[in-house]
Amino acid sequence: MTPAAALAEAFSNEPYLDFSKPEVWAEAESALRHVRTQAGREYPLWIAGAEQRTGDLLASNNPSHPAEIVGRHHKATADLAARAVEDAHAYFPEWARTSPQHRAELLARAAGLIRERKLEFDSWLVIEAGKTWPEAEAEVGEAIDFCEYYARQALKFASPEALVQLPGERDDLVYLPLGVGVVIPPWNFPLAILTGMAVAALVAGNTVVIKPSSETPIIAHLLAEVLHEAGFPPRSFAICVGSGSVIGDVLVEHPKTRFVSFTGSRDVGLRINELAARPRHGQIWIKRVVAEMGGKDAIVVDREADLDAAAAGVAQSAFGYQGQKCSACSRAIVDDPVYSQFLEKLEERVAAITVGPSEDRTNFMGPVISAGARKAILGYIETGKTEARLIAGGGVAPGDGYFIRPTVFAGVDSQARIFREEIFGPVLAVTRARDFHHAIELANDTEYGLTGAVYTRNPEKIREARETFFAGNLYINRKCTGAMVGAHPFGGFNMSGTDSKAGGPDYLLQFLQAQSIAQKL
């Protein structure tokens, strides 16, 4: 099927592979073996339509086996970062003039290429990001979904709804691309979030400079291969690997940077917002910042809930990908009458969680991303031991990787650090609420507002949650992770970011500006 024919069909989410099927698992093992033959190779920068090498190399490691170097990456200098922005700015007018239909077809072609290489992408996510196979598969599926969905959305914005036509006039509204965007994705979704941010900007007619995370830069190079093969022009995007302290500020502050699309921590997001807000010499626009930051997400368990479903949802949300999701459940707030019963069911669920190397499909949890992350998480665990009652986990798990046991604290006070601060690891705080109304109050008692969930069979309480639970993504009787493109537009309130609603019908507006044209007839 041609890209144009594919775009004529309605969007549907990418189906997932089932690794319990012997034939699928055999292909996955084969893909992993092939990927491992490439471990340790060098990756150049991609700037101004050409490869660049500096000789200053960054190593990326397998967090399940830290001694395994999976790639070495040339790091950009501040001068190269500035050059990347300047060249993308110079090329922007040409790319902006291409038709939306053409850009959408290129993106549909990119979706097909990722689909063809799905198990290869899965394998790299397993060994570079420490993802288990199901988590990797879900991420690759999301990347494909972003390509397919945004391609179709671009065509809708190319033909906007007609305006009121005044007598004797032709009145139009057209959407124009912005310019050069700096795309700064996180390490925890190095393919899906990177793809979503980058291709949304590209398909809208912008050029982009991508600064991948230093923890997971291989994935960005793989996406670059796909974009090149799909037909995106060599100068439409750049790949700049390097530390934030060396190139991050240069990219954000450059006067020709038109917008910054960032996903990551609250503190870094606030700094980017502050830097972007100050105009530089020669800058003629107010820079736009699209920021998705942290979360301290809560699941409320009501006395009228299905406790088995609630315990399963909390465990999956708290410990999927080792709790390293901004959407992860880090607080379970439980109605008093069912508190003890819920804890029993949760402990049973957590006790069954297996931890170990992510390439072993029998493990539900793999490693956290780095030694630094492990140290910070273990520090929070030690703090938790002084603030609450430890009922599960509480330390490292066996193995040479960065493994931490799934950890649960009970009786957590709402003023405790482990209740209030984002930990970004497999640590769950369980708090007792007087009643449902009090539980919602506790859930809202945070500076964040990303995801949340409520388990209850009571329709009136569902109505109350819909009206008063303040989170960008609210789920009823299901886990608070796993947002699906097209169905669950994703983004949060307050310190969780600018609520950009990735994967939703208005996301491309972040990368467009509207022009009203009135012509006298």
Return d(Cα 325, Cα 318) in angstroms, integer: 9
Strand partners, 518: 171
Question: For residue 74, which phi and psi values (nearest 5 degrees)?
Answer: -65, 135
Which of 143, 157, 77, 88 minimizes the C-alpha distance to 111? Answer: 143
- Helix axes 217-230 and 192-203, enclosed angle (nearest 10): 40
Q: What is the CA radius of gyration of the chain?
A: 23
SS3 16: coil
Residue 9 falls in the annotated catalytic set: no
**DSSP-derived secondary structure for 392-430:** E--SB-SSSS--B--EEEES--TTSHHHHS---SSEEEE
Q: Which of 105, 148, 240, 326 is catalytic?
A: 326
Chain CA centroid to CA 430, Å: 25
Q: Which of 253, 292, 359, 422 is catalytic?
A: 292
Contact 28, 21 (CB under 8 A): no
Sign of CA dihedral 486, 503, 311, 354: positive
Strand partners, 43: 73
Instruction: Look up tokens 């750049």; give the residue.
Output: 238
Contact 180, 253 (CB under 8 A): no
Return d(Cα 409, Cα 172) in angstroms, integer: 58
Contact 288, 262 (CB under 8 A): no
| Torsion region of 32: left, alpha or beta (phi above 0 gives left; psi -120 to 50 gives alpha) | alpha
Which of 112, 120, 116 minimizes the C-alpha distance to 136? Answer: 120
| Torsion region of 431: left, alpha or beta (phi above 0 gives left; psi -120 to 50 gives alpha) | beta
Residue 326 falls in the annotated catalytic set: yes
Distances from the Cα of 470 to the Cα of 274, 443, 474, 475, angstroms:
25, 8, 8, 12
Catalytic residue numbers read: 292, 326
